[in-house]
Amino acid sequence: MSSRTAPRRLLVTGGCGFIGSNYVRERLAQAEGTEVLVNLDLLTYAGNPANLADLGNDPRLLFVRGDIGDRALVADLLSRHRIDAVVNFAAESHVDRSIDGPEPFVLTNTLGAFRLAETARAYWNGLGTEERAAFRFFHVSTDEVFGSLSPDDPPFRETTPYAPNSPYAASKAASDHFVRAAHHTYGLPTLISHCTNNYGPYQFPEKLIPLMLLNALDGKPLPVYGDGTNVRDWLHVADHCRAIDLILAHGTPGEVYNIGGLNEVRNIDLVRELAALLDGLRPHADGKSYAEQIVFVADRPGHDRRYAIDCAKIAAELGWKPRETFASGLRKTIAWYLENRPWTDAITQTRYARERLGAA
């Protein structure tokens, strides 16, 4: 592991979203050397300032509402705050939404990320020798760029060929290629990570775990796509954030790192486990199990069968491994949502139409 100094002045994009806000929290809580953290977020439907409301008095945190594709704005933020690392979380990320309307995914995930990297490259070119060597551009990607695995296939590695199957995955794949090209063509010190399905606090309620949890509590059906045997590897967001900071501080520029939870679970088994935990934590008055609310619905188009990540590289080079098991992480996640129902109600009742939410 390298001994370089961790970045102290960061531009975090999409920091009001699920993973981004958890990263901002983790960074400010754990990294005492952080001098400035600029959070640039356009506050589209999934960007929620309430995710960071309790940090409003931290003098290190500055919120700026804006688009990652706004080159003048990004250039000003980089130079004015003497940024030494960009961490790009900003993305449209819901597969069902990408199927309904792909264009916003291309504009944000591909064109926006390209423009962000180009603006960072221009800023980096103007730095002194030491500052250029210390600068990092971190692009947060997804395992979905690799396509789908059959039940017996080995997990995705960093060298697995790209084979995106949804507009969302295609838009992220394109952004990965532009970031990679910025390093190999121009020398921009980039880092790319591919993560598996994240879960934890502050996740937007259209995603699987909060959707199923809220539907269960509201007495609504728990819709599971197809036969429920699609498999995902689940990564607690806190483990993901710790991995990002480790890569940012010690990763090799130009390299790609896979981050997984080592928890492959079938969708139907996840929903059943969630129901069983709720049976104990918030039992129905009539004694019925939440599992009785499970219903199977028509599968979505192009639904990938299985995702799984090989984490051997980050484990060997940087010593990272997840701290949470799926059982421990799911229990903590459910407890957080039970304790923070006003947070979800503010989204589902005023900022977002519940009927748009999808299935597992």
Q: For the segment 72-124, what is each residue's pLDDT rounded down to a tens digit?
A: 999 999 999 999 999 999 998 777 788 889 998 999 999 999 999 999 999 99
0.75 exceeded by pTM? yes
Specify whether 255 is catalytic. no
Catalytic pick among 41, 84, 92, 143: 143
Specify whether 162 is catalytic. no
Catalytic pick among 84, 144, 206, 233: 144
The answer for residues whose C-beta is within 8 angstroms of residue 256's C-beta and 6 or more apart is 158, 180, 191, 192, 193, 194
Among 45, 359, 46, residue whose Cα is nearest residue 208: 359
Q: If you average pLDDT over residues 281-292, what whole number do you get?
A: 94
Are 275 and 36 in contact by the 8 Å Cβ rule? The answer is: no
Q: Which of 26-40, 175-189, 339-353 has the highest mean pLDDT?
A: 175-189
The answer for residues whose C-beta is within 8 angstroms of residue 291's C-beta and 6 or more apart is 271, 272, 275, 276, 279
Q: If you average pLDDT over residues 20-40, what whole number do you get?
A: 91
| pLDDT at residue 4 tops 80 | no
Q: If you average pLDDT over residues 140-160, what whole number do you get?
A: 95
Please report the domains of the chain, with CATH numbers, ordered by start residue: 9-204+234-263+306-325 (3.40.50.720)
Catalytic pick among 168, 199, 225, 257: 168
How far lies 258's CA from each of 159, 174, 204, in Å?
A: 10, 17, 23
Quote the distance between the C-alpha of residue 156 and its chain's center: 18
The predicted-structure confidence for 197-225, as pLDDT tens digits, reads as follows: 999 999 988 889 999 999 999 999 999 99
**What was the pLDDT predicted at 207?**
86
Specify whether 264 is catalytic. no
Q: Could you tell me the two tokens for 158?
A: 């960093």
The answer for residues whose C-beta is within 8 angstroms of residue 152's C-beta and 6 or more apart is none
